[in-house]
Chain A
Amino acid sequence: MHLQTLLIVFLLSLAYGQDRQLISKLNPGCPNCDSSYTLVYTRAEGQDDTIHQIWDFTRGVPSVIYAVGTVNSTMTIAWNRREPENFTFTESVKYSFAAAIDKLYEYEDCQDVGHIDDRCPRRALPLRDVGWALNASILTSDEVMITMHGFYKDRRRSGLIHMKLDLLPFTDYAVDLPRLIHTANSSLIDISLVNFTTSMNASRYAIHFLMVSTDNWNDVMNYTMRKSLDDEHTPGVFEIIEVKTPKSRTSGAGGFMQFRPVGYTEQERSVSSSTNAYISPITRKPLPNNMTTLGRFYKDYEPVELLAQQMFISFGLPGDGYYKQRNFTSWSFTFGYGSPPVESVSLFVIIIISIGLGVPVLLALSGVTFVLVRRYRQRRNLPERFIDDE
């Protein structure tokens, strides 16, 4: 009976092309949590392993944690009031990778180059001061998606942070530009900074990432800029940036972030509203303290087992009038486990090339055949004359 059920499930998942089975819960094990506390736990079960995924907004800092365990592993969360306190796994975690957007930076772009620069003034806006509200959610086996609205609790600071996190059980291109590929192993995350007030003349906003992985503490994460021939999905953008953990680099079984170096300055994402997104060098960072969700999650690890890094993502083009010109900046990235997905040349391209090259060749061949046959026949029809001539 069980076998039968498993078989049916297996066939169904094949039919739907599902790579993992998703089971997701909002604030699991927290009876007191209301809509202002959001933690989504997703268990994505695959054939060889299970990815436990946590999207946490409870402490203000948006955090995404991936933990990879065996197929049958499970995780439970112990809550302290409305904040997650302990994360317990039934089996030991094989690998874990996490990222948190712990701060926004308002920076003066004094050279008007677009990206954040040490020589110019900047101001940190920690996200622990932000209150988040769950705006929309889908928690099904076909899709796990939440959208969040965040406001600084300090009323003097206006502006809305809009975030959307999306996980599908199969590989697909995102609907919106820059149409990143998300897989069952990676989540698509959009972040928009809407109507922020600026306090400097040449203000732009940057996002500060804190990343932790269960790699050796003195190793490094690094990023590579890869060029692809295909800008079909992101018109005009040929580069893809991939941040990889040491394990992802060496064995393909680590964490990664993937994004295009492009942001958007309007709600409607298009080529004309695009702006540049810059990644800063990745540097070392002390482990987060126990007051944060990341700190709580990794508190049982030895310091030498944890690699903590930080980086900035900043946005802008020289001469674009800075953030205040549009009062809007949005950006997307995917966050996942394994090897970053590689985009493939679409069927359309292949068809055009094969038709385009095939038809003239066929025509030429048939033309040559036709001419040869005709000449042969002519020769056969007129043999006597040739003989007579001789």
Chain B
Amino acid sequence: MLCTGSIVSIVGNTINLLLPPATSKDPGSYKSLPVIEFNNVTIYFITRKLYSFVQYKQLASFSPCTYTLTTKDYKRRAQSSKMESSEAGGSSRLTQVPPTSWLHPSNRIHRFLALLLMCFLCFGSYFCYDSPGALADNFKNDSHLNTSQFALLYSIYSWPNVVLCFIGGYLVDRYFGVRLGTVIYMTIVFVGAVLFALGVYINTYWLMILGRFVFGIGGESLQVVVNNYVVLWFKGKELNMVFGLQLSFSRFGSTVNFWVMEPVYKWVANYYSGYEQLGVTLFLASLTCFISLICGVILGWMDYRAEKILGRQDESQSDEPVHLKDIRHFKPVFWLLSVICVSYYLAIFPFIALGKLFFERKFDFLPQAANNVNSMIYLLSAALSPFFGILIDKTGRNMTWVIISIVTTIAAHSIMAFTFFNPYIGVITLGISYSLLASGLWPLVALIVPENQLGTAYGICQAVQNMGLATVLILAGVIVDKYGYLMLEMFFLGCLFVALIAAVLINILDSANNGVLNMSPAMRESVKTNALTTGTDETTNLLDHEESTDQEEVDCKRIPESSLEDQRSMESRDISAAQSNRIRSRYLAQILPNTNVERQ
């Protein structure tokens, strides 16, 4: 699992996913569930009535990488929801006695402890990921890296993950198991961080690159396992909250890094100087990975104990084929959307990666102050994304919001490129626009692509975005070295213009198609009802997906097939559990391909 988000600071991949949809009557046949990995972008996806929001964190690697939920997971979830309902004081006939001791795995405090460990599990890799960004000028002065060499430190992290996120999750499901997998990946991350620090300490560039490469191998897959853990330990409402918390915590890890590294570096100056000083600073940073590793071991033990106590058991899994040829049937609108996914984010992450020196040089900021400005974007996205999610959920009109955020991003970059105004103005505008775009853009994919292809669709967005980021990071470094920061800003503006053109084209195509993408929830509802009576056209198709995302009422009247099945399967069970499962599964149906699981 990759933690981290920006390019500079957060390159995290992985999708933080919810629960799987229940797709058949028998929980035992409830086999595998694809997890989509995103890079660096967080999407909060909040539905009105579902009281839950999903976050996609999107960045460095992509996939869909599959990760399998076994029946035991399902049982565990079912059990937990039973527990939850009894805890909630409902008149449930499931009368499993809630354990009173906090030592019991199902106790809230116990789970909270586990949550803490999971957060810290991620903390190390997020923290170390951004160390170069926080010490950018020291890398330039102490290790004499030019900007392109420096940018390679980041992009080398992404390269293995273009492929590895397919494999990492699979290995965990198939061979390692969550506990061993976590320890293995965390060890790889730790080794990578130490190698990198060693490379800096002896000032050997290839060793630095190797270190970052190893770090990337572990980091991406670590994200997958931690998600696995989260799904194992939390469910329902709590699950979404946990994903949210985890995401904020990873942003927090990056931010802390930006705050802390400079003072640490200065402190180390008492004992070392030059690149040795930088190396020692990085060794200290890699200690956070070691702490994370310890958290991983403790969590493994807790999980082992929980498994014993709760009686989880393994069951065999089955693989189902993916049909890549489905891609051919994706609508042009989807491809335009991918264009936005790539071009918009190209103007964000490379900017953060190279931002520190930009603020120092153009605005004469001190290194620490420059880091603070730079970290604003993540801080804002951590803080604002949920609210923008609610906003867009209430208002609909996603494309309008997307266009607005692209335009304000253009304004933000222009302010930084063509004025000497305090960069906080530009960066805050940028952070707000970025959060708004993420909230508006990613749900659109779910409106455009049939749900059973959603995994592939997100995977494609992820893939192109990753490739784009990995290459453009290098390119951005070259631009700065050869043509300066104004040209870099021009490049970002160029990317944003491409995104704007794509957005305008989507709007035009969409309005030729009754403008579904740009409707308010109420309009979607009414148009959908009309469409249902008049027949099946494109709009109906689109609204089919839409309805279950946003329209609780409509859902209740016209439940998708899978949910119907689901509901039938639940009849024999506790009503409240069935209800919550149904809601969850319907929600998940939007995010995950359900029955035909895609594997790649």
Contacts and interface: CB of A to CB of B under 8 A. Distances in A.
**Do A and B share a complex?**
yes
Interface of A: 227, 229-238, 270-272, 317, 319-321, 348-349, 352-353, 355-357, 359-360, 363-364, 367, 370-371, 374
B150 to A, nearest CB: 9
B507 interface: yes
B512 A235 contact: no
Interface in B107-142: 140-142
B417 A229 contact: yes
Contacts of A232: 483-484, 486-487
B145 interface: yes
Contact of A235 (B273, B274, B417, B482): B482
B146 to A, nearest CB: 4
A272 B418 CA distance: 25
Contact of A238 (B147, B273, B361): B361
A352 B493 contact: yes
A231 B508 contact: no
B481 interface: yes
Given A319-B273, A321-B274, A360 B487 contact: no
The binding surface of chain B is classed by DSSP as: helix
Interface residues on B, range: 35 or more
Interface of B: 140-142, 144-147, 273-274, 357, 361-362, 410, 417-420, 480-487, 490, 493-494, 496-497, 500-501, 504-505, 507-508, 511-512
A237 B361 contact: yes
Contact of A355 (B141, B481, B497): B497
A356 B141 contact: no
A364 B140 CA distance: 44
A358 to B, nearest CB: 9
Given A272-B146, A356-B494, A230 B486 contact: yes
A272 B501 contact: no
B420 A227 contact: yes
Contacts of B500: 356, 360
Q: Which 6 A-B pairs have the closest CB atoms?
A: A356-B497, A235-B484, A231-B484, A272-B146, A367-B508, A360-B500
A238 B485 CA distance: 9
B481 A235 contact: yes
A271 B501 contact: no
A93 to B, nearest CB: 40
B444 to A, nearest CB: 18
A299 B142 CA distance: 51
Nearest to B145: A272
B480 A235 contact: yes
A328 to B, nearest CB: 14
A316 to B, nearest CB: 11
A356 to B, nearest CB: 3
A374 B511 CA distance: 11
Contacts of A235: 480-485
A238 B361 CA distance: 7
Contacts of A320: 141
Contacts of B141: 317, 319-320
A168 to B, nearest CB: 23
A323 B487 CA distance: 32
A232 B418 CA distance: 13
A236 B508 contact: no
Nearest to A179: B484
Contacts of A353: 493
Of A271, A319, A348, A370, which is in contact with the most chain B CB atoms at under 10 Å from its CB?
A: A271
Contact of B508 (A355, A357, A359, A363): A363
B504 A363 contact: yes
Nearest to A356: B497
B266 to A, nearest CB: 11
Contacts of B494: 352, 356
A349 B490 CA distance: 7
A364 B504 contact: yes
A355 B490 CA distance: 12
A360 B497 contact: yes
Greatest chain B CB density within 10 A among A229, A317, A360, A367 is at: A360
Given A235-B481, A237-B361, A356-B497, A270 B504 contact: no
B146 A367 contact: no
A370 B511 CA distance: 10
A294 B511 CA distance: 77
